[in-house]
Amino acid sequence: MENRIKKYKSLKIKLTPQRLAILNYLEGNKMHPSVEQIFKYVSRRFPSMSYATVYNVLNTLVKHNVVKEISIDPDKKRFDPYMSTHHHLVCIKCRKIIDLDMDFSIGVPEDKLAGFTMMGNHIEFYGVCAQCRGKDKD
């Protein structure tokens, strides 16, 4: 049995064709796609697909820790199926998001925490990507 299906089954949620199609699109996807991108892609081979279903499926997947909702784009939700700890390089010109596979343990002095229990961190590095730097230097 395919890995994807095996992983899906382990969630103990109904395996519908729509969910499989979305999961299939997300598998290994490094584009941090928006709902719109997911809908457009999946509905090509699944014309009856509705936005409501995409939202439903994504919310389910987030709840089951299969994908993460990321808040880098203030205009819309984006989703990341890459669940290992990692960070993002965000190009301020083209808004592209590049994964950075590293794990930083950043110490914050007790007195700055004000009783906050630290559980993890996510770093957004911003700058200019190679392609954009190549284009024009304004």
Partner DNA sequence: CTGGCTGCAAATCTTTTGCATCCTG
Partner DNA sequence: CAGGATGCAAAAGATTTGCAGCCAG
Spatial distance between the Cα atoms of 81 and 7, rounded to a whole number of angstroms: 13
Spatial distance between the Cα atoms of 40 and 49, rounded to a whole number of angstroms: 9
Q: 91: closest CA among 133, 52, 122? A: 133
133: partner contacted, choices a copy of itself, DNA, none (Cβ within 5-8 A by kind):
a copy of itself
Applying CB under 7 A, does 50 fall inside the site for DNA?
A: yes
Spatial distance between the Cα atoms of 3 and 9, rounded to a whole number of angstroms: 10
The pattern of x and - marking residues 42 through 61 that bind a copy of itself according to CB under 8 A reads --------------------
DSSP state letter for 34? B
Beta bridge partners of 69: 79
Q: Which of 4, 29, 35, 98 binds DNA (CB under 7 A)?
A: 35
Q: Which of 4, 35, 55, 77 binds a copy of itself (CB under 8 A)?
A: 77
5: partner contacted, choices DNA, a copy of itself, none (Cβ within 5-8 A by kind):
none
Applying CB under 8 A, does 86 fall inside the site for a copy of itself?
A: no
Q: C-alpha angle 100/101/104, rounded to 5°?
A: 95
Spatial distance between the Cα atoms of 70 and 97, rounded to a whole number of angstroms: 11
The pattern of x and - marking residues 102 through 131 that bind a copy of itself according to CB under 8 A reads x-x-x-x---xxxxxxxxxxxxxxxxxxx-
Residue numbers 73-102 binding DNA by CB under 7 A:
74-77
Binding-site ranges for a copy of itself (CB under 8 A): 69-74, 77, 89, 91-92, 98, 100-102, 104, 106, 108, 112-130, 133
